[in-house]
Amino acid sequence: MNHFSPIIYNTPARLPLYELFCSGRLGCSYGALMSIAIALVRESSALMVGQYFKRRRDFVEIVVQMGAGIGVILFSVFFKEALGLMGWRLGLQAATGLLLSAFFLGTFYRSASLYHPQRRAILHLKTQRKKVLKGKPSNDRPPYFDFSVLRLKSLRMILLSSGIGAIGAYTPLFYLALQGEEDGLEASDLLLIHTFMGLAMAAGTVIVGLVVLRPSPQCLISLQYLCQATLYGIGLSLLALATVNGYHGYVLFAWLYGFCLGGYQYAVHQYTLDRVRARQFARGWSLVLAVRSLPTLFGVPIAGYINQSTPRAGYYFSFTFTVIGASLLFL
């Protein structure tokens, strides 16, 4: 979708007022529904992975986090071809049909308890417990909204760092195609740049994951420092984007930014899992995602408005908050 952001930004200048109003409502509705669906499906499925793979969870998380980079590659090509051949309406409907096909994978879902080696013993204990508690009021059900996990200072620091860093860390995902078109890059070049970014995200996830899984005895790097290093790398790539020119410069930026972004996504996920108990990880990780989404909602438009008044100055704004977010982990 990022590849066609220049079309999204340039279309309002050519539309009458009524069509502009309708297209604006359509864009907001589509974006809201898509973001809610992604939040419900993608992250909940990631939590399900942790229920199935408890011993090798770190390795499986590498495969799961690589999906973001692979998705950037596949859907950049898909949107270019589908929207270019069929138009906006039919192209988006084709994308909806493709995503809907994943719904049927849920029919193969089976509870993780079915694969437990001591399943029969667990079922026996549950049955006996029900017999003992039969007729007695049960108060074991946890509250629906439970924020007790916020008592952990380390999690509060992760939330603060992620929220401040998210103000600027994701700006290139929204404005890279627009800036490339303004600099005269062709559509095929922009597609290759997004492909390189997806490959870099997958590579960053794998390399940072291997550093976590197989640490060297001579050089041990904690998860906190991995989060900070990758977030600082995102900040440096934002500085590079403010001065980059030409196709090769954009390719270099795509590799640097994609590598650091993929590594950061994995590192902050594992750092949260390390600081929060596995039983409370679902609540803690959901708070991290919520805290990252709201600053992105405001940080990206602010950077865009700054770029309109002063070309590329918005990336310095994004760089500042990204570096501040990384530095907060020292507290």
Average model confidence (pLDDT) across the chain: 82
Task: Tell me, yes or no, whether 250 lies in a domain.
Answer: yes
Q: Quick check: is 141 in a domain?
A: no
Domain that holds residue 43: 2-85+148-330
Residues 278 and 50 sit within 8 Å (Cβ to Cβ): yes
Residues 167, 154: Cα–Cα separation, whole Å: 21
The candidate with the shortest Cα–Cα distance to 81, out of 198, 177, 173, 3, is 3
Angle 230-73-185 from CA coordinates, rounded to 5° = 90
**Is the Cα dihedral 151, 154, 156, 158 positive or negative?**
negative
Residue percentage of the chain with pLDDT more than 90: 36
Cα(299)–Cα(168) distance, integer angstroms: 6
Task: Return the axis-axis angle of helices 57-101 and 17-52, rounded to nearest 10°.
Answer: 140
Each residue of 232-280: pLDDT tens digit?
999 999 999 999 988 999 999 999 999 999 999 999 999 998 998 777 8
Average pLDDT over residues 121-139: 72
DSSP code, position 143: P
Between residues 231 and 142, which one has the greater pLDDT? 231
CA pair distance 200, 205, nearest whole angstrom: 9
Gap between the Cα atoms of 214 and 223, Å rounded: 13
2 or 297, which is more confident: 297
- Residue 119: inside a domain, yes or no? no
> pLDDT tens for residues 78-90?
888 887 788 877 8
Q: Domain of 263: which CATH number? A: 1.20.1250.20
- The helix or strand, by DSSP H or E, that contains position 111, with its residue range, turns out to be none
Distance in angstroms (rounded) separating the CA atoms of residues 189 and 179? 13
133 part of a folded domain: no
Is the pLDDT at 113 greater than 80, yes or no?
Answer: no
Residue 121 lies in a domain: no
Q: How many domains does the chain have?
A: 1
Residue 142, by phi and psi: left (phi above 0), alpha (psi -120 to 50) or beta? beta
Read off the pLDDT of each residue in 64-81 and give the average, rounded to a whole number.
86
Does the residue 166 lie in any domain? Answer: yes
Q: Is residue 24's pLDDT more than 80?
A: no
CA distance 77 to 184: 20
Burial class (CB in 10 A: 0-12, 13-18, 19+), 99: middle
114 in any annotated domain: no
Does the pLDDT at position 16 exceed 60? Answer: no
What pTM did the predictor assign? Answer: 0.83
Task: Look at residue 11 in the predicted model and tell me its pLDDT.
Answer: 39
CA 12 from chain center: how many Å? 28
Q: How high is the pLDDT of residue 14? A: 36
* Torsion angle defined by CA atoms of residues 35, 58, 285 and 117, in that order, rounded to the nearest 10 degrees: 100
> Is 209:59 a contact under the CB 8 Å cutoff?
yes
What tokens appear for 84 in the block? 């270019």
Cα–Cα distance for residue pair 326/158, rounded to 1 Å: 10
232 within some domain: yes
Q: What is the DSSP string of 3-32?
A: GGHHHHHHGGGGS-HHHHHHHHHHHHHHHH
Dig out the tokens for 5 from the structure: 């952001």
Tens of pLDDT, residue by residue over 133-165, are: 666 665 666 677 778 888 888 999 999 999 999
